[in-house]
Amino acid sequence: METSARLLNDRYELGALLASGGMGRVWRGRDTVLNRPVAVKILRSEFTGDASFVARFRAEAQHAAALHHPNIASVFDYGEVEENGEQLAYLVMELVDGESLAALLARQRQLDVPTSLRILRGTAAALSVAHSAGLVHRDVKPGNVLVAHDGTVKITDFGIAWSASSVPLTRTGQVIGTAHYLSPEQAQGGRATPASDVYALGAVVYECLAGRRAFEGENSVQIAVKQIREQPEPLPDTIPADVRALVDRAMAKDPAQRFPDGDALLRAVDETLAGRPPTAHDAGPTGTAVMPLPVLPPDDDRHVSTPPPERRRPTALIAGAAAAILLIAALVGGIGVLSGGDGESSAATPTAAEQPSTAAQTPPTVTLDPAAYLGRPVTEVQAELTALGLTVALQPVQTADVAEGAVTALTPTDGLLAGATVTVSHAVAPPAPPVVVEDDDGDNGNNGNGNGNGGKKKDRERGGDDD
């Protein structure tokens, strides 16, 4: 979509591109009616014909608009319009004069304790309001935490938030979130709770203090398994003991051992800042537990999608051994395409039924969600699909509408067996237009882009400067 010098819905003037993700792009804009700066998020045109994507986008507007707090980016407007034959859905938000925490960490890598606690407190305060309203964010990560130049912290992107009062926007088998900040219960297919957001925020602050993520791996599957089974490396001894204890409790494997919600975490942060020991009801856990592999019934947001711990009691193995072989394949389908960085979150959906293992069992298949890949660098997408056991065929597509190297399409995406070939189309810049040189008029010697060789040749012939 061409956005130069144009109005969206005859009201919002679009300026510079601020961010681009799997589902949409965010532009710096101006509300010409109220004459104020805004941020305008536009759903990618290839998704506007998909009712599920539009519903998720609309839900982001509804969820965020219902929340009012200084640490939550405000939503001003939402609309769905047709312009120049193109269906558009857009969200108008508060423009935060600053940058995302992801950008800040990319530049500085490690933050000091006061800055980290300020970010923790502001985000915990925002989650406290959301949790009180019955919302679970489900995708707390550095890319969704905005840090203004004056130090104000604001959380954004409630696009995949879960609400007890809302219609489920995910399908059975989907695991929603970003692998590096995914709670153990979400990685195992359990429903996200306020304690899940607490875990994600704990992982974010761990990264701020340690200068590294809590868990790394070659792909999202490995990272998710580590979230379930492993403990992160201890924070440096230079971090005060009470701050380390705060982060340790937020990242407890067992949700019952964490702060139960944003409000409890906020109170604990305030006590830490005041130099007071935790109260009895906020005392940290004596240890953390590796969560057992659950056997869950079908549900809108739940799916068994992780391998079991290496050793389990025989009685537990009897209940789960029949399905254990397929769980690893389900993990690849359910978590394997979660955004490993800070792009738009998404998920793949496994289509293989979890049936008792037999010699004639049908091989598991995987269904890919295009939103997890479109707009991302082709090298990243190729690596992730290869990690899923798929064969990737790259297809360059000349276009000036998408950043060079960005993925524009995937096919096929349904019912993929191991080793299946997926064609990944990616943008390449079109060739420069030809330069027309007219021998009888030196002034017409550069009809191209202003820097063509034809123009420079004529300039040299008349003694001009190439610059």
Q: At what angle do helices 314-335 and 220-229 cross, to 10 degrees?
A: 150
Nearest to 114 by CA among 211, 235, 240, 204: 240
Tokens describing residue 290: 């590796």
CA dist 467 and 456 (Å) reads 9
Q: CB neighbours of 373 closer than 8 A, spacing ≥ 6?
A: 22, 337, 381, 384, 407, 410, 424
Category of 35 on φ-ψ map: left (φ > 0), alpha (ψ -120 to 50) or beta? left
| Other residues' Cβ atoms within 10 Å of the Cβ of residue 457 | 15
Which residue stretches of 45-134 are H helix? 51-65, 101-108, 113-132
CA dist 136 and 326 (Å) reads 29
- The alpha carbon of 349 is separated from its chain's Cα centroid by a whole number of angstroms, namely 17
Rounded to 5°, the CA angle 388-189-55 comes to: 85
Residue 442's alpha-carbon distances to 221, 432, 439, in angstroms, are: 62, 21, 7
Is residue 338 within 8 Å of 346, Cβ to Cβ?
Answer: yes
CA dist 333 and 116 (Å) reads 35
Catalytically active residues are 139
Q: Rounded to the nearest 5°, which phi and psi values hold at 75?
A: -105, 130
Residue 326's alpha-carbon distances to 17, 20, 139, 352, 364, in angstroms, are: 43, 35, 27, 8, 7
Tokens describing residue 90: 């857009």
Is residue 288 within 8 Å of 230, Cβ to Cβ?
Answer: no
